[in-house]
Structure 1
Amino acid sequence: MKKLLFICLWLTAHYIFVSCNDDSDEGNPPVLTDISVSTTTNEIHWTNSNELTTAIEEALTYHYGEAKENEVDKPLTFNTDTTQVIASIAFKPAFENVYTDENTTNNAVTITLVKTNIPLAPVTLQADGPGETYELITSVLAPGANPIETPDCNHADFGRHIDEVFDNELNAYVFRFHMHTSPDNDRCINFDRQRNEIKTYDQSPENLKGTEDETVVYKWKFKLDEGFQSSSNFTHIHQLKSVGGDLESMPIYTLTTRKSNPDRLELRYAETDKQITLAQTPLAPLTGVWLDVTETITYSTSGNYKIEIKNVNDDTVLFSYAKTGIVNWRPGASFVRPKWGIYRSLINENDLRDETLHYTDFSIQEVKK
């Protein structure tokens, strides 16, 4: 009997205790307050993850109202390509019934993120005086290998078809590329064309090869003699060629001079195995003067391309072209390489003459992905 009485008393006391607590909760409704996040900028430019983290922290300011910092969550939500971040603030689940946010419209901000590519130091090739020209070119473009394609094999008595001479206009040594209508050919391999070019290729350092999603800036100076004679078929003076895949024999881009009325300079492009002309200009204003070229390309299936050719003497732009969203990367390609020099058809040999082309100040500069 006493035991039963004790249980009844305990249950009564427990009921009273719980009821008191319930009355206490009902008497303390959630605290009205305003938590928010704000930013000093809507766009952040960044180059690495540490810099990005610091910039976001410096841009954001959180306001806790009546709450404490340890009572809220402050997540950062990045999109998949890290071009946007959403910073938000919310009460932690344990405090959702303790506080009521009076204004939820200021609980999140969106910041655009722009990654700034860092250009690496350019690799340069400059003439330094007569003698050992092939060795100089090789030491830069493909140390220990052979980045030179000349007609020396079929014209040995002339000697090396690339040498160095002093140019009074530039007041510096420059590279001189020789080409003779006879007997020069294409490396004793092809006899309906002639080639005298330098290049990067699979034996070159990695930072001289263009790879997918990479931006590369090529610069050089060159001079065509007055009266320069071109083939009506092709006379390439610069090429960008992919290596690997079924399309590697066709350059992506070429600068080509062509016999016409009047003779012209063409920028040629091939997405696949067919070339088209993107832009052209009369050739005569580009002969007999030193020209400064800057070519910038992003190697991507939706890439960018830009080229500008200026007169060295007065910086007058003589030729330019730019396009975005262009296919600059081919299936199966492993890298893209540049070529400079002269590569021309012999099919209409009577249109041609012996030529010397002058080049200098080659530069290849990769930009980090």
Structure 2
Amino acid sequence: MTGFDRRKALTLGAGALGALALGVTPAQAATWKLRWNPDPAKDGLKAFEGLEDDRAGTHPVQHIFAESNQWRFLMHTRDRDTMTDRQRNEVRGMRSGGAAVPIKLNETWRLEYQAYWPSALTATTAFTHIMQMKVSGVDAPVWTLTPRMKGSTGRLTIAGDSASEVDLTDYAPLQNKWIDVMFEFKASHSGTLRCVIKNGSATVVDRKWNANLWRDTAYLRPKWGIYRSLNSSGLKDCYQLIRNYKGYQLV
């Protein structure tokens, strides 16, 4: 059982006790339902709605693939996107049993996974997104997870599609090891977003804030991989590893 799983069990237990105090049976209380838990060996890239691997065809090798118990996302300095000032090798959306798993208006979700960020996946002065929450049919992200160079220090940040950016923690201590990442959020114009990051047994980030997490369109879908601007110096060939994806909906 992971740290997130233990916390979830305690939260559900407290929720059931609170429900009884209000005269609601535990069966009627809201619970977290596991909606997405892909297996790299079984599902491979079919775990996702779509693939954005070298869209411009500038480097004809496979940049995104499943291996053993993880997914690997490669990025080379020679890679180019169809927008030639940037690079993009990402997956988008969740798929289970061959069907898309959309995040709809006013739904509350929790996404959990483990990420490995090597030293070569550097913090940059321009954008380097290693996770995005996007809206189907809309270009601007609802939020991004971005290692950003600020002065001489790399910071892991959350940024929305406005000028606001939330500093989470120093990036370097999280590199070259497996890190637990969790986003809990309500998909609403008056939404909330919570981000928890654990380095082993230590919780290094647990932040929650209000945010506009909806656009008037079909649904939200997460993206993972590497999406970075070429307008930063010191870019390197690099990769990101991700394993143990889980998507829970509060029902």
Tell me if TM exceeds 0.5. yes
Unaligned runs of 5+ in 2: 1-19
1:298 aligns with 2:186: yes
Q: Which amino acid aligns with 1:338?
A: P
Q: Deviations over 1:197-247 (max 9, x none)?
A: 111179x835x2111110111111111113532331100000111235xxx
What secondary structure, in the 3-state scheme, does the structure 2 residue paired with 1:233 have?
coil
1:149 aligns with 2:56: no
Q: Check conservation: 1:47, 1:118, Cα contact below 8 A.
A: no
Q: CA deviation at 1:343?
A: 0.3
Q: Check conservation: 2:120, 2:236, Cα contact below 8 A.
A: no
Q: CA deviation at 1:347?
A: 1.9
Q: Which amino acid aligns with 2:116?
A: K
1:309 aligns with 2:194: no
Q: Deviations over 1:325-359 (max 9, x none)?
A: 432223x22211100111000123x3201001111
Q: CA deviation at 1:165?
A: 4.1
1:124 aligns with 2:19: no
User: 4+ residue runs of structure 1 moved beyond 4 angstroms?
Assistant: none
Instruction: Name the structure with the higher strand share.
Output: 2
Question: What corresponds to 1:346 in structure 2?
Answer: 230
Match of 2:239 among 345, 350, 356: 356
Distance in 2 between residues matched to 1:46 and 1:214, nearest whole Å: 22
Residues 193 and 269 of structure 1, relative CA distance in 2, 3 Å threshold: same
Q: Which amino acid aligns with 2:106?
A: D
Question: What corresponds to 1:200 in structure 2?
Answer: 93
Question: What corresponds to 1:185 in structure 2?
Answer: 80
1:221-236 pair list within 5 angstroms: 221-236=114-129
What secondary structure, in the 3-state scheme, does the structure 1 residue paired with 2:40 have?
coil
Unaligned runs of 5+ in 1: 1-40, 52-115, 130-134, 167-172
Instruction: Name the structure with the higher helix share.
Output: 1
Q: Check conservation: 2:107, 2:187, Cα contact below 8 A.
A: yes
Larger radius of gyration: 1
1:1-369 pair list within 5 angstroms: 43-45=22-24, 116-128=29-41, 136-138=44-46, 140-142=47-49, 147-151=50-54, 153-156=57-60, 159-166=61-68, 173-182=69-78, 184-186=79-81, 189-200=82-93, 205-206=99-100, 208-244=101-137, 248-260=138-150, 261-270=152-161, 274-311=162-199, 314-323=200-209, 325-330=210-215, 332-348=216-232, 350-368=233-251
What secondary structure, in the 3-state scheme, does the structure 2 residue paired with 1:275 have?
coil
Q: Check conservation: 1:141, 1:205, Cα contact below 8 A.
A: no
Q: Give the aligned length.
A: 229
TM-score when scaled to structure 2? Answer: 0.82
Q: Deviations over 1:230-280 (max 9, x none)?
A: 331100000111235xxx22111110012231111111123xxx2311233
Q: Check conservation: 2:76, 2:238, Cα contact below 8 A.
A: yes
What is the percentage of aligned positions where both structures have the same residue? Answer: 26
What secondary structure, in the 3-state scheme, does the structure 1 residue paired with 2:122 have?
coil
TM-score when scaled to structure 1? Answer: 0.57
Greater CA deviation, 221-230 or 283-292? Answer: 221-230
